[in-house]
Amino acid sequence: MTNADREQRPSSCDYDAELRRHDDVLRRAGDLRFHDRILDIGCGSGHTTRQAARTARAGSALGVDISASAIDRARELADRLPNVTFEQADAQVHRFPHEYFDVAISRFGTMFFGDPAAAFANIGRALRPDGRLVMLVWQAGERNEWDVAIRRALGEPRAAAAPPPAGPDPFSLADPMAVLDLLDGAGFADISFTDVREPVYYGPDPDTALDWVRGFTCTANALGRLGPADAAHAIARLRTELAAHRDEDGVRFDSRAWIVSARRARAGNHGARTPLRS
């Protein structure tokens, strides 16, 4: 992951390269300060945690992820940053320091909780009163060109009224009204949603993109339901779809996300539920 911490065009693809345009969105929305103590939920290999630590030079940044291999990699990459730490932890149940953090951030790391109500309540307890939550989550699958195109190529179009898929669902926090209720119940106030439209990057060429996309859970599940011949045809269609989305910067797809911002309410004061913003 040689380009994870550089502002340049990636020559291959990994999760940080895919979401490089979203990093700026999260950084602006987070509005981190010099002395902030920051919690990064679902930090992966720690790219966003390291960015936060560089901003909060007199504060600190803790990145947590359920994946042990991701945390091992995050620690390797952060050995020169004195104010960043990483822990393998499940944010639903981990005993964070009580009322310690100023800001909790997440770049698409909060959609996979088995018990989201418990998770957000636990995160809220880790924030000081009036501490902020700022997270990126995907909007509905049908609003994301990457999901529509991949499912179309694999012969699995997503219907807007279809039930959520079995297993991890990247769109579990797509419905603003459901998220409002969830965060309100977890003790958050001043909850707002800002529309984010930035492309995702899948690599410099269709072959790299195909290798990356075949690692997606939705792709693997769809191919696993097909016989060998049908799977081969589906992969060929998928490569054609990826090639059609190649431009001078590589293979890119439109995407839609929400920046969800909220504040931990003081006792007895849940504040306002803010309308959507474009």
Query: Which residue has tokens 């690599």?
Result: 203
pLDDT (tens digit per residue) in 28-41:
999 999 999 999 99
Q: pTM for the full model? A: 0.88
Distances (CA, A) of 37 to 49, 55, 56, 95, 143: 11, 11, 7, 16, 34
Cα torsion for 234, 240, 244, 247, to the nearest 10°? 110
| Residue 72, number of CB atoms within 10 A of its CB | 12
Q: Which CATH class is domain 15-140+164-201+255-265?
A: alpha beta
Task: Taking residues 44-69, report their average pLDDT.
Answer: 96
Three-state DSSP at 70 gives helix
The token duo for 136 is: 């990126």
H helix or E strand, kind and range, residue 238: helix 228-244
- Domain extents for the chain? 15-140+164-201+255-265
Tell me the pLDDT tens digit for each residue of 164-195: 555 578 999 999 999 999 999 999 999 999 99
Handedness of CA 71, 72, 75, 77 (dihedral sign): negative
Range of weakest confidence among 24-28, 64-68, 154-158, 169-173: 154-158
Question: DSSP H helical segments within 64-163, as ranges?
Answer: 68-77, 116-126, 145-153
pLDDT score, position 2: 27
For residue 108, give the nearest of 48, 56, 160 by alpha carbon.
48
Confidence of residue 278 (pLDDT cuts 50, 70, 90): low
